[in-house]
Chains A and B, each alone.
Chain A
Amino acid sequence: MSAHAIELKAAPAGRDTRPGLGRLTKVELRKMVDTRSGFWLLLAVVGLTLLSVVITALAAHEDQKTFSHILSNALQPAGILLPVVGILLVSSEWSQRTALVSFALVPGRSRLIGAKVLAGVLLALAATAVALVVAVVGTAIASTSAPHQWSLPLGLLLQDIVYVVSSMLIGIGFGAALLASAPAIVFYFAVPTALSALGSINSLHGTIEWINIGESAGPLTERVLSGHDWAQVLVTLAVWMVVPLAIGLWRITRRDVG
Protein backbone atom coordinates (compact mmCIF):
# COMPACT_ATOMS: atom_id res chain seq x y z
CA MET A 1 0.00 0.00 0.00
CA SER A 2 2.59 2.54 -1.02
CA ALA A 3 1.35 6.07 -1.08
CA HIS A 4 3.53 7.25 -3.95
CA ALA A 5 1.55 5.11 -6.36
CA ILE A 6 -1.29 7.57 -6.59
CA GLU A 7 0.78 10.72 -6.55
CA LEU A 8 -0.67 13.23 -8.97
CA LYS A 9 1.77 13.83 -11.75
CA ALA A 10 1.83 16.99 -13.80
CA ALA A 11 -0.05 16.00 -16.96
CA PRO A 12 2.18 13.22 -18.30
CA ALA A 13 2.14 12.59 -22.01
CA GLY A 14 -0.89 10.72 -23.31
CA ARG A 15 -3.20 12.19 -20.72
CA ASP A 16 -5.30 13.96 -23.28
CA THR A 17 -4.65 11.64 -26.22
CA ARG A 18 -7.73 9.89 -27.49
CA PRO A 19 -7.18 6.11 -27.60
CA GLY A 20 -6.89 5.13 -31.27
CA LEU A 21 -9.23 2.70 -33.00
CA GLY A 22 -6.37 0.21 -33.30
CA ARG A 23 -5.86 0.14 -29.55
CA LEU A 24 -9.59 -0.15 -28.87
CA THR A 25 -9.79 -3.05 -31.34
CA LYS A 26 -6.97 -4.79 -29.51
CA VAL A 27 -8.87 -4.36 -26.23
CA GLU A 28 -12.03 -5.83 -27.77
CA LEU A 29 -10.10 -8.80 -29.19
CA ARG A 30 -8.76 -9.44 -25.74
CA LYS A 31 -12.25 -9.20 -24.23
CA MET A 32 -13.37 -12.04 -26.51
CA VAL A 33 -10.78 -14.47 -25.16
CA ASP A 34 -10.16 -13.41 -21.56
CA THR A 35 -13.46 -14.52 -20.02
CA ARG A 36 -14.19 -18.10 -19.09
CA SER A 37 -17.09 -18.34 -21.57
CA GLY A 38 -15.13 -16.70 -24.39
CA PHE A 39 -12.12 -18.94 -23.84
CA TRP A 40 -14.13 -22.17 -23.92
CA LEU A 41 -16.21 -21.07 -26.90
CA LEU A 42 -13.09 -20.41 -28.97
CA LEU A 43 -11.47 -23.63 -27.80
CA ALA A 44 -14.67 -25.41 -28.85
CA VAL A 45 -14.45 -23.81 -32.31
CA VAL A 46 -10.89 -25.09 -32.75
CA GLY A 47 -11.72 -28.55 -31.36
CA LEU A 48 -14.85 -28.98 -33.49
CA THR A 49 -13.00 -27.74 -36.58
CA LEU A 50 -10.40 -30.47 -36.06
CA LEU A 51 -13.10 -33.03 -35.39
CA SER A 52 -15.18 -32.21 -38.46
CA VAL A 53 -12.08 -32.36 -40.69
CA VAL A 54 -10.99 -35.69 -39.25
CA ILE A 55 -14.44 -37.17 -39.68
CA THR A 56 -14.75 -35.87 -43.25
CA ALA A 57 -11.24 -37.01 -44.19
CA LEU A 58 -11.79 -40.50 -42.81
CA ALA A 59 -15.45 -41.25 -43.29
CA ALA A 60 -16.79 -39.14 -46.15
CA HIS A 61 -17.67 -40.60 -49.51
CA GLU A 62 -14.61 -40.78 -51.78
CA ASP A 63 -15.67 -37.96 -54.11
CA GLN A 64 -16.41 -35.73 -51.07
CA LYS A 65 -12.82 -35.86 -49.85
CA THR A 66 -11.88 -32.74 -51.79
CA PHE A 67 -10.19 -29.69 -50.29
CA SER A 68 -13.18 -27.44 -50.95
CA HIS A 69 -15.59 -29.85 -49.30
CA ILE A 70 -13.34 -30.52 -46.32
CA LEU A 71 -12.87 -26.76 -45.92
CA SER A 72 -16.62 -26.24 -46.07
CA ASN A 73 -17.05 -28.69 -43.20
CA ALA A 74 -14.12 -27.15 -41.33
CA LEU A 75 -15.86 -23.76 -41.39
CA GLN A 76 -19.15 -24.94 -39.94
CA PRO A 77 -18.12 -24.83 -36.23
CA ALA A 78 -16.94 -21.23 -36.70
CA GLY A 79 -20.13 -20.37 -38.58
CA ILE A 80 -22.24 -21.74 -35.74
CA LEU A 81 -20.28 -20.64 -32.66
CA LEU A 82 -18.66 -17.33 -33.68
CA PRO A 83 -22.07 -15.61 -33.72
CA VAL A 84 -22.36 -16.54 -30.04
CA VAL A 85 -18.94 -14.98 -29.41
CA GLY A 86 -20.16 -11.89 -31.27
CA ILE A 87 -23.42 -11.75 -29.30
CA LEU A 88 -21.56 -12.00 -25.99
CA LEU A 89 -19.00 -9.38 -27.01
CA VAL A 90 -21.77 -6.77 -27.04
CA SER A 91 -24.52 -8.13 -24.80
CA SER A 92 -22.21 -8.99 -21.89
CA GLU A 93 -21.43 -5.28 -21.54
CA TRP A 94 -25.06 -5.03 -20.44
CA SER A 95 -25.73 -8.36 -18.76
CA GLN A 96 -22.41 -8.19 -16.86
CA ARG A 97 -22.79 -4.40 -16.66
CA THR A 98 -19.23 -3.74 -17.79
CA ALA A 99 -20.63 -0.95 -19.98
CA LEU A 100 -20.30 1.18 -16.84
CA VAL A 101 -16.53 0.70 -17.07
CA SER A 102 -16.13 0.59 -20.86
CA PHE A 103 -18.09 3.76 -21.59
CA ALA A 104 -16.44 5.59 -18.70
CA LEU A 105 -13.13 5.07 -20.51
CA VAL A 106 -14.51 5.52 -24.04
CA PRO A 107 -17.48 7.88 -23.96
CA GLY A 108 -17.70 7.81 -27.78
CA ARG A 109 -20.01 4.83 -27.85
CA SER A 110 -20.09 4.43 -31.63
CA ARG A 111 -16.25 4.22 -31.62
CA LEU A 112 -16.43 1.41 -29.10
CA ILE A 113 -18.98 -0.46 -31.23
CA GLY A 114 -16.77 0.17 -34.27
CA ALA A 115 -13.87 -1.41 -32.40
CA LYS A 116 -16.05 -4.42 -31.57
CA VAL A 117 -16.99 -4.85 -35.24
CA LEU A 118 -13.33 -4.63 -36.31
CA ALA A 119 -12.29 -7.09 -33.61
CA GLY A 120 -15.06 -9.43 -34.74
CA VAL A 121 -13.89 -9.28 -38.36
CA LEU A 122 -10.29 -9.99 -37.32
CA LEU A 123 -11.31 -12.96 -35.18
CA ALA A 124 -13.46 -14.32 -38.04
CA LEU A 125 -10.49 -14.03 -40.41
CA ALA A 126 -8.28 -15.81 -37.89
CA ALA A 127 -10.86 -18.60 -37.57
CA THR A 128 -10.97 -18.92 -41.36
CA ALA A 129 -7.18 -19.15 -41.47
CA VAL A 130 -7.21 -21.90 -38.83
CA ALA A 131 -9.86 -23.80 -40.79
CA LEU A 132 -7.78 -23.45 -43.98
CA VAL A 133 -4.69 -24.90 -42.32
CA VAL A 134 -6.63 -27.76 -40.75
CA ALA A 135 -8.39 -28.47 -44.06
CA VAL A 136 -5.04 -28.57 -45.93
CA VAL A 137 -3.70 -31.14 -43.48
CA GLY A 138 -6.96 -33.08 -43.59
CA THR A 139 -6.99 -33.17 -47.39
CA ALA A 140 -3.40 -34.36 -47.48
CA ILE A 141 -4.22 -37.18 -45.11
CA ALA A 142 -7.43 -38.18 -46.88
CA SER A 143 -5.85 -40.10 -49.71
CA THR A 144 -8.44 -40.20 -52.41
CA SER A 145 -8.94 -40.86 -56.02
CA ALA A 146 -11.41 -38.00 -56.39
CA PRO A 147 -10.64 -35.76 -59.38
CA HIS A 148 -9.63 -32.12 -58.72
CA GLN A 149 -8.90 -32.98 -55.13
CA TRP A 150 -7.04 -29.74 -54.45
CA SER A 151 -9.05 -27.30 -56.51
CA LEU A 152 -10.52 -24.30 -54.70
CA PRO A 153 -11.93 -21.59 -56.96
CA LEU A 154 -11.01 -18.11 -55.75
CA GLY A 155 -14.71 -17.22 -55.76
CA LEU A 156 -15.44 -20.04 -53.33
CA LEU A 157 -12.62 -18.96 -51.01
CA LEU A 158 -14.05 -15.44 -50.96
CA GLN A 159 -17.51 -16.86 -50.23
CA ASP A 160 -16.02 -18.87 -47.35
CA ILE A 161 -14.64 -15.65 -45.92
CA VAL A 162 -17.98 -13.87 -46.41
CA TYR A 163 -19.71 -16.77 -44.62
CA VAL A 164 -17.54 -16.67 -41.49
CA VAL A 165 -17.23 -12.87 -41.27
CA SER A 166 -20.95 -12.32 -41.79
CA SER A 167 -21.79 -14.97 -39.17
CA MET A 168 -19.69 -13.05 -36.67
CA LEU A 169 -21.24 -9.69 -37.61
CA ILE A 170 -24.76 -11.12 -37.40
CA GLY A 171 -23.91 -12.17 -33.84
CA ILE A 172 -22.60 -8.72 -32.98
CA GLY A 173 -25.75 -7.22 -34.51
CA PHE A 174 -28.07 -9.48 -32.50
CA GLY A 175 -26.15 -8.72 -29.31
CA ALA A 176 -26.32 -4.99 -30.00
CA ALA A 177 -29.99 -4.94 -30.96
CA LEU A 178 -31.17 -6.97 -27.95
CA LEU A 179 -28.50 -6.00 -25.37
CA ALA A 180 -29.17 -9.21 -23.44
CA SER A 181 -27.24 -12.45 -23.87
CA ALA A 182 -29.88 -15.14 -23.42
CA PRO A 183 -32.63 -13.64 -25.63
CA ALA A 184 -30.08 -12.81 -28.35
CA ILE A 185 -28.73 -16.38 -28.44
CA VAL A 186 -32.21 -17.91 -28.35
CA PHE A 187 -33.46 -15.62 -31.13
CA TYR A 188 -30.38 -16.27 -33.21
CA PHE A 189 -30.91 -20.02 -33.22
CA ALA A 190 -34.72 -20.17 -33.03
CA VAL A 191 -35.64 -17.74 -35.80
CA PRO A 192 -34.03 -19.69 -38.69
CA THR A 193 -35.77 -22.85 -37.49
CA ALA A 194 -39.07 -21.01 -37.33
CA LEU A 195 -38.46 -19.54 -40.81
CA SER A 196 -37.70 -22.99 -42.21
CA ALA A 197 -40.94 -24.27 -40.72
CA LEU A 198 -42.82 -21.36 -42.30
CA GLY A 199 -40.97 -21.96 -45.56
CA SER A 200 -42.41 -25.45 -45.76
CA ILE A 201 -45.80 -23.83 -46.30
CA ASN A 202 -45.98 -23.70 -50.08
CA SER A 203 -47.45 -20.26 -50.51
CA LEU A 204 -44.78 -18.69 -48.28
CA HIS A 205 -41.78 -20.55 -49.61
CA GLY A 206 -40.90 -17.99 -52.26
CA THR A 207 -40.71 -15.16 -49.73
CA ILE A 208 -39.08 -17.06 -46.90
CA GLU A 209 -36.13 -18.24 -48.96
CA TRP A 210 -35.11 -14.58 -49.37
CA ILE A 211 -34.83 -13.97 -45.66
CA ASN A 212 -33.92 -17.37 -44.26
CA ILE A 213 -30.26 -17.22 -43.34
CA GLY A 214 -29.98 -21.00 -43.05
CA GLU A 215 -31.17 -21.49 -46.60
CA SER A 216 -29.43 -18.68 -48.43
CA ALA A 217 -26.11 -18.64 -46.56
CA GLY A 218 -25.74 -22.41 -46.55
CA PRO A 219 -24.54 -22.68 -50.18
CA LEU A 220 -21.88 -19.99 -49.57
CA THR A 221 -19.28 -22.60 -48.61
CA GLU A 222 -20.55 -25.31 -50.99
CA ARG A 223 -20.52 -23.96 -54.53
CA VAL A 224 -19.76 -20.84 -56.50
CA LEU A 225 -22.95 -18.83 -56.38
CA SER A 226 -25.02 -17.65 -59.30
CA GLY A 227 -26.27 -14.08 -59.62
CA HIS A 228 -29.66 -15.10 -58.27
CA ASP A 229 -27.98 -16.83 -55.29
CA TRP A 230 -25.99 -13.69 -54.55
CA ALA A 231 -29.11 -11.57 -54.65
CA GLN A 232 -30.65 -13.85 -52.03
CA VAL A 233 -27.51 -13.74 -49.89
CA LEU A 234 -27.36 -9.94 -49.99
CA VAL A 235 -31.03 -9.54 -49.11
CA THR A 236 -30.68 -12.04 -46.25
CA LEU A 237 -27.56 -10.33 -44.92
CA ALA A 238 -29.30 -6.96 -45.05
CA VAL A 239 -32.10 -8.38 -42.92
CA TRP A 240 -29.88 -10.35 -40.54
CA MET A 241 -26.76 -8.25 -40.31
CA VAL A 242 -27.32 -4.64 -41.34
CA VAL A 243 -30.71 -4.10 -39.69
CA PRO A 244 -29.74 -5.48 -36.23
CA LEU A 245 -26.42 -3.58 -36.33
CA ALA A 246 -28.25 -0.36 -37.19
CA ILE A 247 -30.87 -0.89 -34.47
CA GLY A 248 -28.12 -1.76 -32.00
CA LEU A 249 -26.03 1.29 -32.81
CA TRP A 250 -29.11 3.49 -32.50
CA ARG A 251 -30.06 1.98 -29.11
CA ILE A 252 -26.54 2.03 -27.69
CA THR A 253 -25.72 5.60 -28.63
CA ARG A 254 -29.03 6.97 -27.36
CA ARG A 255 -29.86 4.94 -24.34
CA ASP A 256 -28.97 5.87 -20.79
CA VAL A 257 -26.54 3.36 -19.37
CA GLY A 258 -26.99 2.13 -15.86
Chain B
Amino acid sequence: MIEAEKLTKRFGGRAVVDDVSFRCEPGTVTGFLGPNGAGKTTTMRMICGFSHPDSGRAGVLGGSYRELPNPGRRVGVLLDASAQHGGRRGREALALSALTMGVEEGRVDELLALVGLDRPAARKRVRQYSLGMRQRLGIANALIGEPEVLILDEPANGLDPEGMRWMRGLLRGFAERGGTVLLSSHLLHEVDAIADRLVIIGSGKIVAQGSKEELLSDAGTLVRADDAAALGQALTVAGLEAREAEGGGFLVDAEPRAVGAAAQGGGVALVHLAPAGDAGLEQLFFDLTTDNGEEGE
Protein backbone atom coordinates (compact mmCIF):
# COMPACT_ATOMS: atom_id res chain seq x y z
CA MET B 1 0.00 0.00 0.00
CA ILE B 2 1.20 3.48 -0.89
CA GLU B 3 -0.32 6.66 0.47
CA ALA B 4 0.18 10.31 -0.32
CA GLU B 5 -1.76 12.75 1.81
CA LYS B 6 -1.89 16.43 0.90
CA LEU B 7 1.74 16.30 -0.20
CA THR B 8 3.22 19.69 -0.98
CA LYS B 9 6.74 20.59 -2.02
CA ARG B 10 8.01 24.04 -2.97
CA PHE B 11 11.18 24.91 -4.80
CA GLY B 12 12.04 28.59 -4.69
CA GLY B 13 8.52 29.60 -3.68
CA ARG B 14 6.87 27.67 -6.52
CA ALA B 15 4.82 24.62 -5.52
CA VAL B 16 6.06 21.80 -7.76
CA VAL B 17 3.83 19.37 -5.87
CA ASP B 18 0.66 20.93 -4.59
CA ASP B 19 -1.74 19.19 -2.23
CA VAL B 20 -1.36 15.77 -3.84
CA SER B 21 -3.36 12.90 -2.32
CA PHE B 22 -3.81 9.37 -3.61
CA ARG B 23 -3.72 5.77 -2.48
CA CYS B 24 -2.46 2.63 -4.19
CA GLU B 25 -4.06 -0.59 -2.95
CA PRO B 26 -2.60 -4.11 -2.97
CA GLY B 27 -3.48 -5.98 -6.14
CA THR B 28 -3.54 -2.90 -8.35
CA VAL B 29 -1.25 -1.19 -10.81
CA THR B 30 -1.55 2.59 -10.54
CA GLY B 31 -0.32 4.69 -13.43
CA PHE B 32 1.01 8.09 -12.37
CA LEU B 33 0.62 10.16 -15.47
CA GLY B 34 1.67 13.68 -16.27
CA PRO B 35 3.78 15.76 -18.63
CA ASN B 36 7.47 16.28 -17.87
CA GLY B 37 7.85 18.70 -14.98
CA ALA B 38 4.39 18.01 -13.59
CA GLY B 39 5.77 16.80 -10.24
CA LYS B 40 5.74 13.00 -10.66
CA THR B 41 9.39 12.48 -9.80
CA THR B 42 9.28 14.85 -6.85
CA THR B 43 6.21 13.08 -5.49
CA MET B 44 7.80 9.65 -5.81
CA ARG B 45 11.00 10.83 -4.15
CA MET B 46 9.01 12.15 -1.23
CA ILE B 47 7.25 8.78 -0.90
CA CYS B 48 10.65 7.07 -0.74
CA GLY B 49 12.08 9.47 1.82
CA PHE B 50 14.58 11.13 -0.52
CA SER B 51 13.15 14.57 -0.02
CA HIS B 52 11.06 16.12 2.70
CA PRO B 53 7.60 17.45 1.93
CA ASP B 54 6.93 21.03 3.01
CA SER B 55 3.57 19.80 4.21
CA GLY B 56 1.49 16.67 4.08
CA ARG B 57 2.81 13.14 4.43
CA ALA B 58 3.63 10.10 2.39
CA GLY B 59 3.92 6.50 3.43
CA VAL B 60 4.25 2.89 2.37
CA LEU B 61 2.88 -0.18 4.11
CA GLY B 62 1.28 1.95 6.80
CA GLY B 63 4.41 3.82 7.91
CA SER B 64 7.04 6.11 6.52
CA TYR B 65 9.57 4.65 4.09
CA ARG B 66 12.58 5.71 6.16
CA GLU B 67 11.31 3.77 9.16
CA LEU B 68 11.44 0.45 7.29
CA PRO B 69 14.33 -1.52 8.80
CA ASN B 70 15.28 -3.24 5.55
CA PRO B 71 13.30 -1.38 2.88
CA GLY B 72 14.65 -3.39 -0.05
CA ARG B 73 12.82 -6.49 1.23
CA ARG B 74 9.46 -4.70 1.38
CA VAL B 75 9.50 -2.01 -1.32
CA GLY B 76 11.20 -2.24 -4.71
CA VAL B 77 12.28 1.15 -5.96
CA LEU B 78 13.45 2.35 -9.37
CA LEU B 79 13.71 6.13 -9.30
CA ASP B 80 16.11 6.63 -12.18
CA ALA B 81 17.45 3.94 -14.46
CA SER B 82 20.52 6.06 -15.21
CA ALA B 83 21.47 6.17 -11.54
CA GLN B 84 24.05 3.39 -11.73
CA HIS B 85 27.82 3.68 -11.66
CA GLY B 86 29.00 3.61 -15.28
CA GLY B 87 32.20 1.80 -14.36
CA ARG B 88 30.47 -1.07 -12.56
CA ARG B 89 29.37 -4.28 -14.25
CA GLY B 90 25.62 -4.86 -14.39
CA ARG B 91 25.77 -8.07 -12.41
CA GLU B 92 27.93 -6.43 -9.75
CA ALA B 93 25.42 -3.61 -9.27
CA LEU B 94 22.76 -6.21 -8.44
CA ALA B 95 25.15 -8.17 -6.23
CA LEU B 96 25.78 -5.04 -4.13
CA SER B 97 22.05 -4.60 -3.57
CA ALA B 98 21.61 -8.30 -2.72
CA LEU B 99 24.47 -8.13 -0.22
CA THR B 100 23.10 -4.95 1.37
CA MET B 101 19.64 -6.38 1.99
CA GLY B 102 20.86 -9.85 2.91
CA VAL B 103 19.56 -11.78 -0.10
CA GLU B 104 21.62 -14.78 -1.21
CA GLU B 105 23.72 -13.95 -4.25
CA GLY B 106 22.23 -16.79 -6.29
CA ARG B 107 19.15 -14.66 -6.72
CA VAL B 108 21.17 -12.18 -8.77
CA ASP B 109 21.43 -14.62 -11.69
CA GLU B 110 17.77 -15.54 -11.30
CA LEU B 111 16.84 -11.87 -11.65
CA LEU B 112 19.19 -11.27 -14.58
CA ALA B 113 17.44 -14.12 -16.40
CA LEU B 114 14.02 -12.76 -15.42
CA VAL B 115 14.68 -9.31 -16.91
CA GLY B 116 16.36 -10.76 -19.98
CA LEU B 117 19.95 -9.61 -19.43
CA ASP B 118 22.08 -12.49 -20.69
CA ARG B 119 25.55 -13.37 -19.44
CA PRO B 120 27.54 -11.13 -21.83
CA ALA B 121 25.22 -8.21 -21.04
CA ALA B 122 25.52 -8.78 -17.28
CA ARG B 123 29.32 -8.72 -17.59
CA LYS B 124 29.32 -5.39 -19.41
CA ARG B 125 29.96 -2.12 -17.60
CA VAL B 126 26.75 -0.14 -17.12
CA ARG B 127 28.29 2.71 -19.16
CA GLN B 128 27.86 0.52 -22.26
CA TYR B 129 24.18 -0.17 -21.56
CA SER B 130 21.39 1.26 -23.66
CA LEU B 131 18.58 3.01 -21.78
CA GLY B 132 16.40 -0.09 -22.27
CA MET B 133 19.08 -2.30 -20.68
CA ARG B 134 19.43 0.13 -17.78
CA GLN B 135 15.68 -0.06 -17.24
CA ARG B 136 15.85 -3.85 -17.15
CA LEU B 137 18.73 -3.69 -14.69
CA GLY B 138 16.79 -1.18 -12.59
CA ILE B 139 13.69 -3.38 -12.56
CA ALA B 140 15.83 -6.38 -11.54
CA ASN B 141 17.29 -4.24 -8.77
CA ALA B 142 13.80 -3.31 -7.58
CA LEU B 143 12.62 -6.94 -7.58
CA ILE B 144 15.65 -8.58 -6.00
CA GLY B 145 14.41 -8.30 -2.42
CA GLU B 146 11.03 -9.94 -3.25
CA PRO B 147 9.12 -6.79 -2.27
CA GLU B 148 5.37 -6.35 -1.80
CA VAL B 149 5.36 -2.85 -3.26
CA LEU B 150 6.96 -1.49 -6.43
CA ILE B 151 7.62 2.20 -7.06
CA LEU B 152 8.93 2.79 -10.57
CA ASP B 153 9.64 6.19 -12.12
CA GLU B 154 9.35 6.12 -15.92
CA PRO B 155 10.27 2.43 -16.18
CA ALA B 156 9.01 2.10 -19.76
CA ASN B 157 11.20 4.93 -21.01
CA GLY B 158 13.63 3.48 -23.54
CA LEU B 159 11.98 0.06 -23.75
CA ASP B 160 11.16 -1.27 -27.20
CA PRO B 161 7.64 -2.61 -27.95
CA GLU B 162 8.70 -6.13 -26.99
CA GLY B 163 10.11 -4.77 -23.71
CA MET B 164 6.87 -2.90 -23.04
CA ARG B 165 4.85 -6.07 -23.51
CA TRP B 166 7.22 -7.94 -21.23
CA MET B 167 6.93 -5.29 -18.52
CA ARG B 168 3.16 -5.26 -18.76
CA GLY B 169 3.10 -9.02 -18.12
CA LEU B 170 5.58 -8.71 -15.29
CA LEU B 171 3.74 -5.94 -13.46
CA ARG B 172 0.27 -7.44 -14.04
CA GLY B 173 1.54 -10.73 -12.60
CA PHE B 174 3.06 -8.91 -9.65
CA ALA B 175 -0.25 -7.18 -8.89
CA GLU B 176 -2.27 -10.39 -9.36
CA ARG B 177 -0.19 -12.00 -6.63
CA GLY B 178 -1.25 -9.20 -4.30
CA GLY B 179 1.52 -6.69 -4.94
CA THR B 180 1.05 -2.92 -5.13
CA VAL B 181 2.53 -1.08 -8.10
CA LEU B 182 2.95 2.63 -8.71
CA LEU B 183 4.56 3.54 -12.01
CA SER B 184 4.89 6.92 -13.63
CA SER B 185 5.01 7.95 -17.24
CA HIS B 186 4.68 11.04 -19.37
CA LEU B 187 3.19 8.99 -22.20
CA LEU B 188 -0.46 7.99 -21.98
CA HIS B 189 -0.19 4.86 -24.09
CA GLU B 190 2.57 3.42 -21.86
CA VAL B 191 0.47 3.60 -18.72
CA ASP B 192 -2.82 2.96 -20.44
CA ALA B 193 -1.69 -0.54 -21.40
CA ILE B 194 -0.48 -1.55 -17.93
CA ALA B 195 -2.40 0.32 -15.27
CA ASP B 196 -5.88 -0.34 -13.93
CA ARG B 197 -5.97 2.93 -12.04
CA LEU B 198 -4.73 6.32 -13.13
CA VAL B 199 -3.59 9.35 -11.20
CA ILE B 200 -3.14 12.28 -13.57
CA ILE B 201 -1.03 15.22 -12.46
CA GLY B 202 -0.37 18.56 -14.11
CA SER B 203 1.57 21.55 -12.71
CA GLY B 204 1.90 19.79 -9.37
CA LYS B 205 -1.84 19.26 -8.90
CA ILE B 206 -3.92 16.12 -9.30
CA VAL B 207 -6.22 16.71 -12.27
CA ALA B 208 -8.07 13.42 -12.30
CA GLN B 209 -7.84 10.04 -10.65
CA GLY B 210 -9.78 6.84 -10.55
CA SER B 211 -10.12 3.49 -12.24
CA LYS B 212 -9.69 3.52 -15.97
CA GLU B 213 -13.42 2.76 -16.47
CA GLU B 214 -14.38 5.76 -14.33
CA LEU B 215 -12.05 8.08 -16.17
CA LEU B 216 -13.12 6.81 -19.57
CA SER B 217 -16.83 7.18 -18.79
CA ASP B 218 -16.19 10.75 -17.64
CA ALA B 219 -14.38 11.51 -20.83
CA GLY B 220 -17.50 12.66 -22.70
CA THR B 221 -18.69 11.99 -26.22
CA LEU B 222 -16.82 12.23 -29.48
CA VAL B 223 -19.02 13.41 -32.35
CA ARG B 224 -18.23 14.12 -36.01
CA ALA B 225 -20.17 15.45 -38.95
CA ASP B 226 -19.17 16.38 -42.50
CA ASP B 227 -20.56 19.86 -41.82
CA ALA B 228 -18.55 20.76 -38.75
CA ALA B 229 -19.79 24.33 -38.58
CA ALA B 230 -23.43 23.24 -38.50
CA LEU B 231 -22.65 20.64 -35.84
CA GLY B 232 -20.90 23.26 -33.69
CA GLN B 233 -23.90 25.51 -34.10
CA ALA B 234 -26.31 22.74 -33.11
CA LEU B 235 -24.31 21.89 -29.97
CA THR B 236 -24.21 25.54 -28.94
CA VAL B 237 -27.95 25.89 -29.44
CA ALA B 238 -28.52 22.81 -27.26
CA GLY B 239 -26.31 24.39 -24.58
CA LEU B 240 -23.69 21.63 -24.59
CA GLU B 241 -20.04 22.23 -23.70
CA ALA B 242 -17.99 21.23 -26.75
CA ARG B 243 -14.38 21.56 -27.81
CA GLU B 244 -12.74 20.73 -31.08
CA ALA B 245 -11.12 17.33 -30.75
CA GLU B 246 -7.75 16.22 -32.04
CA GLY B 247 -8.28 14.75 -35.50
CA GLY B 248 -11.58 16.49 -36.24
CA GLY B 249 -15.03 16.57 -34.71
CA PHE B 250 -16.01 17.71 -31.22
CA LEU B 251 -15.49 16.40 -27.73
CA VAL B 252 -18.73 17.05 -25.89
CA ASP B 253 -19.17 17.01 -22.14
CA ALA B 254 -22.43 15.01 -22.29
CA GLU B 255 -23.89 11.55 -22.93
CA PRO B 256 -24.06 10.36 -26.56
CA ARG B 257 -27.88 10.38 -26.27
CA ALA B 258 -27.96 14.15 -25.55
CA VAL B 259 -25.45 14.86 -28.29
CA GLY B 260 -27.48 12.85 -30.81
CA ALA B 261 -30.60 14.77 -29.85
CA ALA B 262 -28.79 18.09 -30.26
CA ALA B 263 -27.62 17.07 -33.74
CA GLN B 264 -31.13 16.02 -34.69
CA GLY B 265 -32.44 19.38 -33.44
CA GLY B 266 -29.97 21.18 -35.71
CA GLY B 267 -30.70 18.87 -38.62
CA VAL B 268 -27.05 17.77 -38.89
CA ALA B 269 -26.12 14.37 -40.35
CA LEU B 270 -23.54 12.65 -38.14
CA VAL B 271 -20.72 10.37 -39.30
CA HIS B 272 -19.54 9.42 -35.82
CA LEU B 273 -21.17 9.38 -32.39
CA ALA B 274 -19.65 7.42 -29.48
CA PRO B 275 -18.29 7.72 -25.93
CA ALA B 276 -14.92 9.42 -26.26
CA GLY B 277 -13.06 6.77 -24.23
CA ASP B 278 -9.36 6.81 -25.02
CA ALA B 279 -9.80 9.84 -27.26
CA GLY B 280 -11.21 11.78 -24.32
CA LEU B 281 -8.34 10.73 -22.08
CA GLU B 282 -5.90 11.71 -24.78
CA GLN B 283 -7.57 15.09 -25.10
CA LEU B 284 -7.41 15.65 -21.35
CA PHE B 285 -3.75 14.71 -21.38
CA PHE B 286 -3.03 16.79 -24.47
CA ASP B 287 -4.59 19.85 -22.82
CA LEU B 288 -2.38 19.30 -19.79
CA THR B 289 0.75 19.07 -21.88
CA THR B 290 0.01 22.21 -23.86
CA ASP B 291 -1.18 24.21 -20.84
CA ASN B 292 1.89 23.55 -18.80
CA GLY B 293 4.56 23.38 -21.40
CA GLU B 294 7.75 21.50 -20.77
CA GLU B 295 9.01 22.82 -17.49
CA GLY B 296 11.61 20.19 -16.79
CA GLU B 297 11.94 18.33 -13.52
Residues of B within 8 A of A (CB): 41-42, 45, 48-52, 65-66, 68-74, 77, 79-80, 82-89, 92-93, 96-97, 99-102, 110-111, 113-116, 125, 141, 143, 146, 148, 166, 170, 173-174, 177-179
Contacts and interface: CB of A to CB of B under 8 A. Distances in A.
Interface stretch (A27-35, A163-171, A234-242): A27-35
A8 B72 CA distance: 14
B77 to A, nearest CB: 4
Given A8-B178, A258-B41, A3 B73 contact: no
Interface of A: 1-3, 5-9, 12, 14-19, 23-24, 26-27, 30-31, 34-38, 92, 96-108, 256-258
28 contacts: A5-B113, A6-B114, A8-B178, A14-B102, A15-B74, A16-B68, A17-B102, A23-B102, A26-B99, A27-B99, A35-B87, A96-B85, A96-B86, A97-B82, A97-B84, A98-B84, A101-B83, A101-B93, A101-B141, A104-B48, A104-B77, A105-B72, A107-B66, A107-B68, A256-B50, A256-B52, A258-B50, A258-B51
Contacts of A103: 49-50
Contacts of A37: 87
A1 B87 CA distance: 27
Contacts of B72: 104-105
A30 B87 contact: no
- Of all A-B residue pairs in the complex, the 5 with the closest CB atoms, nearest first, are A256-B51, A36-B87, A97-B83, A35-B87, A107-B66
Given A105-B72, A258-B51, A7 B177 contact: yes
Contacts of B110: 2, 5
A96 B116 CA distance: 24
Given A3-B173, A107-B65, A34 B92 contact: yes
A3 to B, nearest CB: 6
B8 to A, nearest CB: 14
Contacts of A9: 146
Q: Among B69, B82, B93, B111, which residue has the most Cβ atoms of chain A within 10 A?
A: B69
A94 B114 CA distance: 29
A100 B85 CA distance: 11
Contact of A19 (B80, B84, B102, B143): B102
A9 to B, nearest CB: 6
A16 B50 contact: no
A37 B127 CA distance: 13
Contacts of A99: 83
Nearest to A35: B87
A24 B101 CA distance: 9
Contact of B84 (A34, A96, A258): A96
Contacts of B111: 5
B100 A8 contact: no
Contacts of B66: 107-108
Contact of A16 (B69, B96, B177): B69
